Amino acid sequence: MHAPIKTDALVIGAGPVGLFQVFQLGLQGISCHVVDSLPQIGGQCMELYADKPIYDIPGIPVCTGSELIAQLAQQIQPFGASFHLEQLVTEMERLPDGRLKVSTSSDTVFSVQCVFIAAGVGAFLPRKLAIEGLQAFESQQVFHKLDGRLNLAEQHLLVAGDNDAALETAIQSAQLSEGQPASITLMHRRDRFQASEDNIAALQDLCAQGRVRFVAAQPTACIVSNGRLTGLEVLTAQGLTDTLPVDIVIASLGLSPRLGPLADWGLALERKQLPVQTDTFATHERGIFAVGDINTYPGKKKLIVCGFHEATLAAFGAAALLNPSQKTLLQYTTTSSLLHQRLGLL
């Protein structure tokens, strides 16, 4: 466990609403840290429709999901928020002094006064192969992407999946200049891929050279010897049972959002959403706000523009909570020298 990071505010979720929350907190003079389970910022905009056009962002007639996120990233730059990516917020508890202790899957611990839950439809986490007993080998022999730290030398590598990431994992593993795996098998339930033509062509080429083996099959059981995963029993597309030798599995099956640990934080949930007050978007727990797709209130619409409004009022709510003796004045970015200072313009 690392020493706790003491900060005013923590934003859980770096989707569009979490990012705009950083901006609104910055205008209020509140510094923050941001955690997301994904390796990049952008939430649904990046994960589900990065190249698709959005037409209902005020003042922007059209932009793609990734363009919106790039603009938000630029907008929050003056506030220097710290991002902690590829980390799942797992625990949240109230400390005796009233602060909140928030912990992540990477053992990062925060001690904060305010938490902004901008968790959208849940944390985007890798889909797992549904085989009994495989979970026990997570992070030891089962991974979800090719990582430079993985030593594949002389290992039997099994890549599961039909997407570009799966094909690229098999292709890159076959092209390693040193530390070549003993064997590379790509497994998917059928011999059709949801991948680019280039990747499919490269895979077919490697299969023709015998450097990668493709198996159309579904895994049915783990084969374990002396506490180590040594193989997978599979049912082939032809209905036969086969055994594949395995030292390392890379399950590249895409991501799916899961509410996950949020359900265990002792917060009242209504149909997996957090009920909030609409003046500050505070939950019933002091210092915990919920903004964006994760919250619910009468008339709630899961739209980015609504999340932006919620983040604005939540930042005012937090300012009042953190500085109870000061009046939280409404100031315009057009004319306020204080806001210009905070925006780094002066």
260 binds ligand FAD (CB under 6 A): yes
Burial class (CB in 10 A: 0-12, 13-18, 19+), 138: middle
Torsion angle of C-alpha atoms 50, 54, 58, 60, degrees rounded to 10:
80
Residue 14 or 222: which CB sits closer to ligand FAD?
A: 14
303 binds ligand FAD (CB under 6 A): yes
152 binds ligand FAD (CB under 6 A): no
| Shortest Å distance, C-beta 117 to ligand FAD | 8
Residue 118 or 159: which CB sits closer to ligand FAD?
A: 118
Cα separation, 271 vs 293, whole angstroms: 12
160 binds ligand FAD (CB under 6 A): no
Largest alpha-carbon pair distance within the chain? 73
The single residue among 253, 262, 282, 339 that binds ligand FAD, judged by CB under 6 A, is: 262
> Binders of ligand FAD among 129-148, rule CB under 6 A?
none
Taking alpha carbons only, the member of 174, 165, 125, 124 closest to residue 146 is 165
Q: In the structure encoding, which two tokens stand for residue 73, read together?
A: 């990233």
Taking alpha carbons only, the member of 137, 294, 165, 101 closest to residue 230 is 137
287 binds ligand FAD (CB under 6 A): no
Beta-bridged to residue 245, according to DSSP, are: 231
Residue 145 or 213: which CB sits closer to ligand FAD?
A: 145
Cα separation, 306 vs 24, whole angstroms: 14
Cα separation, 140 vs 249, whole angstroms: 10
| Shortest Å distance, C-beta 120 to ligand FAD | 2
The single residue among 43, 231, 287, 317 that binds ligand FAD, judged by CB under 6 A, is: 43
Cα separation, 70 vs 155, whole angstroms: 40
Residue 26 or 261: which CB sits closer to ligand FAD?
A: 261
Residue 37 or 218: which CB sits closer to ligand FAD?
A: 37
> Binders of ligand FAD among 102-121, rule CB under 6 A?
118-121
Residues near ligand FAD, by CB under 6 A = 12-18, 35-38, 43-45, 48-49, 54, 56, 88-89, 118-124, 260-262, 292-293, 302-305, 307
